[in-house]
Amino acid sequence: MKKYRRPFPFMSVLLFILLLPAACNSNLPSEFTRNQKLWEANHLTDYNFTLQRNCFCPEDRRGPVDIQVRKNATISIIFTESGVTANPDFFSDVDTIDELFGVLKNAHMDKAVQVDVTYDATYGYPQSIYIDVSKEIADEEQGYTVSNLQVIHIFGNPK
């Protein structure tokens, strides 16, 4: 009698590898996923926005700052009221809308005890974010407000 090798171990490993990204993202709320896809579907690469960070941190890390993004790269961060250029290192983790989605994704994946967010209905970007990583830790909460989004180009055409 001839023995046949079963492809199951190989197929099981292949299936695991293919499904791993989906399993990792299953912790993400559908509202997050839907709005991130909406943001990505709009192909916005050139825009300006105002960012205010609410945190227990020095004032020069809070803003509000006006941020210019061109071709998905931040080209300037300026304090809204004074017109002074901000230290880009202080905002490098939140200086694009994609970075803000990254902050939200990390909060969800790290199972922060509270993540509150409102999204823009047209473009899907987060307009306000509040993250509390732990109820037992004081003053680690972070909040962000995005306002005054100005789209400069959509699909390479001026808007």
Give the pTM.
0.77
Q: Which residue ranges make up each domain of the chain?
A: 29-158
pLDDT of 91 higher than 90: yes
Distance between start and end Cα atoms, the chain: 72
Residue 13, pLDDT score: 43
Of residues 57 and 95, which shows the higher confidence score? 95
Report pLDDT digits (tens) over 22-55: 444 567 889 999 999 999 999 999 999 999 999 8
Per-residue pLDDT of 102-147, as tens digits, reads 999 999 888 889 999 999 999 999 999 999 887 776 666 789 999 9
Closest C-alpha among 144, 153, 49 to residue 100: 144
What DSSP letter does each residue of the chain carry, written as one string? -------HHHHHHHHHHHHHHHHHHTTS-HHHHHHHHHHHHTTEEEEEEEEEEEESS-GGGT--EEEEEETTEEEEEEETTT-PBP-GGGTTTSSSHHHHHHHHHHHHHTT-SEEEEEE-TTT--EEEEEEES-TTSTT--EEEEEEEEEEEEETTEE-
